[in-house]
Chains A and B, each alone.
Chain A
């Protein structure tokens, strides 16, 4: 089974959210998602300052096989897109919860979305047959 770190929260569409010390959040796709996509060859991250609604497509990850949208787990304003992914999209395959992060976001007040705990996400993966 794929890795599901205990200190993150998740979505049913296989994104993860990490709370950072400054009150912003870091967002990426899960180990399960990167494995299902295969070798990533192109990533499009949102521009700084863009305002996103929860559930809005916020990034595109393309593997050799297909392009997939990434959905923003929380409403908020983009503070940074990961600048390393343009030259090295494979960081998402190698380190999905670390150097392969996609964007940082300052959440809108009160926006916590409907995020899953690690155990709820693991349950969701099992329910999907993984």
Chain B
């Protein structure tokens, strides 16, 4: 039996199919995964993401610790509540995890890391926090809901604590704020507008039911996966891991090599990759024929060389199959993918595939 979020019994009562995800029993779908997906693209859906690990770092040298631990530079965070997406690397430049860091004040930052990497992340952070006297505290007392879709914010706002409502409506994209034990952020993993709300665990069931009563559809991890892939967002463990670096994972934009005197873990390795040029790249694929691209299918590039699909699915918005594939670097317009022994043509595109409910130019 896996770990349970505060919403576990509610998921069961809603008829969810539960699967193991990173050691947690999580809802993969309630009724129809495709309908859940469309609800988020067209109106609003709610996901239980309480399995994700919230870590508060406190101490006067927290910023210094994060400038050493993260490949992106928290020096970019200057206003309270601002968020930054970053990889945390090992010394070889491999990705230990991807995470979001929120700047609360100069002695307090909040991280949200993946459930499946929790143990290793906490051990890694603690190992480096000691010298800087930064306190590391996992917030197991909090639940986290992601409410996503074009109608998500308006349907969520009235359910927030009264003191948070006006501020929630004015919240800029990719920022958050604290009200008591609540934390409301305008972030997500779907390519739609919305909130991610951290709140005291005992209040999560009431909020979920109130969202349902306002027409917000319960959504499982299945829809979360098709939405994030359409939105061009990587999944740790599929699209990057400790054996791959950010430049071959379409995450070069998250690496801050400037300023040059910032010494972060993995920097030397990444500088060597940058100087030599990355041998591989992560690209988006759109399958031309019917069929479904899946992770680990082999990809052949014209003129020789090949690679592999890291994430693939059927895109409910595009009604065709899309994927990420890691292939040799260089301009490639078309590849072929081995699906059960048949070589099917696919076009390469630059992710994302879908943003704010609409296919991006050149995808279809």
Chain A interface (Cβ within 8 Å of chain B)? 38-39, 41-42, 60, 62-67, 86
| B34 within 8 Å of A (CB atoms) | yes
Pick the contact of A38: B222, B292, B321 (CB < 8 A): B222
Q: Is there contact, CB below 8 Å, between B33 and A39?
A: yes
With contacts A42-B291, A42-B292 taken as known, whether A62 is within 8 angstroms of B33 at the C-beta atoms is: no
Q: From residue B27, how far is it (CB to closest CB) to chain A in Å?
A: 13
Q: From residue B298, how far is it (CB to closest CB) to chain A in Å?
A: 15
**Residues of A contacting B340 with CB < 8 Å?**
60, 67
Chain B interface (Cβ within 8 Å of chain A)? 28-29, 32-34, 222, 226, 290-292, 294, 313-314, 316, 321, 340
- Most chain B CB within a 10 A radius of its CB, from A41, A62, A66: A41
Q: Is there contact, CB below 8 Å, between B28 and A39?
A: no
8 contacts between A and B (CB under 8 A): A38-B222, A39-B32, A42-B290, A42-B321, A62-B291, A62-B314, A64-B314, A65-B33
Q: Is there contact, CB below 8 Å, between A64 and B290?
A: no
Q: How far is the CA of A54 from the CA of B226 in the complex (A)?
A: 36
**Residues of A contacting B226 with CB < 8 Å?**
64
Q: Is there contact, CB below 8 Å, between A38 and B294?
A: no
Nearest residue in A to B35 (C-beta to C-beta)? Answer: A39
Q: From residue A63, how far is it (CB to closest CB) to chain B in Å?
A: 8
**Residues of B contacting A62 with CB < 8 Å?**
291-292, 314
Q: How far is the CA of A42 from the CA of B321 in the complex (A)?
A: 10
If A65-B33, A67-B340 are given as contacts, then 11 extra A-B residue pairs at C-beta distance below 8 Å, sorted by A number, are A39-B32, A39-B34, A42-B290, A42-B291, A60-B340, A62-B292, A63-B33, A64-B33, A64-B34, A64-B222, A64-B314
Q: From residue B65, how far is it (CB to closest CB) to chain A in Å?
A: 39
Main SS class of interface, B:
mixed
With contacts A64-B222, A64-B316, A65-B222 taken as known, whether A38 is within 8 angstroms of B290 at the C-beta atoms is: no
Q: Is there contact, CB below 8 Å, between A38 and B33?
A: yes
With contacts A38-B29, A42-B314 taken as known, whether A67 is within 8 angstroms of B34 at the C-beta atoms is: no
Q: How far is the CA of A63 from the CA of B222 in the complex (A)?
A: 11
Q: How far is the CA of A39 from the CA of B291 in the complex (A)?
A: 14
Q: From residue B72, how far is it (CB to closest CB) to chain A in Å?
A: 32
**Residues of A contacting B28 with CB < 8 Å?**
65
Q: From residue B341, how far is it (CB to closest CB) to chain A in Å?
A: 11
Q: From residue A37, how far is it (CB to closest CB) to chain B in Å?
A: 11
Q: How far is the CA of A67 from the CA of B297 in the complex (A)?
A: 12
**Residues of B contacting A86 with CB < 8 Å?**
290
Q: From residue B35, how far is it (CB to closest CB) to chain A in Å?
A: 8
**Residues of A contacting B321 with CB < 8 Å?**
42
Nearest residue in B to A41 (C-beta to C-beta)? Answer: B314
Q: How far is the CA of A39 from the CA of B38 in the complex (A)?
A: 13
Nearest residue in A to B19 (C-beta to C-beta)? Answer: A65
Q: From residue B316, how far is it (CB to closest CB) to chain A in Å?
A: 7
**Residues of B contacting A39 with CB < 8 Å?**
32-34
**Residues of B contacting A42 with CB < 8 Å?**
290-292, 314, 321
Nearest residue in B to A57 (C-beta to C-beta)? Answer: B340
Q: From residue A38, how far is it (CB to closest CB) to chain B in Å?
A: 6
Nearest residue in B to A38 (C-beta to C-beta)? Answer: B33
Nearest residue in B to A87 (C-beta to C-beta)? Answer: B290
Q: From residue B155, how far is it (CB to closest CB) to chain A in Å?
A: 25
**Residues of A contacting B292 with CB < 8 Å?**
41-42, 62, 67
Q: How far is the CA of A42 from the CA of B315 in the complex (A)?
A: 12
Q: Is there contact, CB below 8 Å, between B294 and A64?
A: no
Q: How far is the CA of A60 from the CA of B339 in the complex (A)?
A: 11
**Residues of B contacting A41 with CB < 8 Å?**
34, 292, 314
- Most chain A CB within a 10 A radius of its CB, from B32, B226, B292: B292
- Most chain A CB within a 10 A radius of its CB, from B32, B34, B222, B226: B34
Q: How far is the CA of A39 from the CA of B35 in the complex (A)?
A: 9
CB-based closest 8 A-B pairs: A41-B314, A39-B34, A62-B292, A64-B33, A42-B292, A64-B314, A39-B33, A38-B33
Q: From residue B21, how far is it (CB to closest CB) to chain A in Å?
A: 13
Q: From residue B143, how far is it (CB to closest CB) to chain A in Å?
A: 26
Q: How far is the CA of A38 from the CA of B313 in the complex (A)?
A: 14
Nearest residue in B to A86 (C-beta to C-beta)? Answer: B290
Q: From residue B344, how far is it (CB to closest CB) to chain A in Å?
A: 11
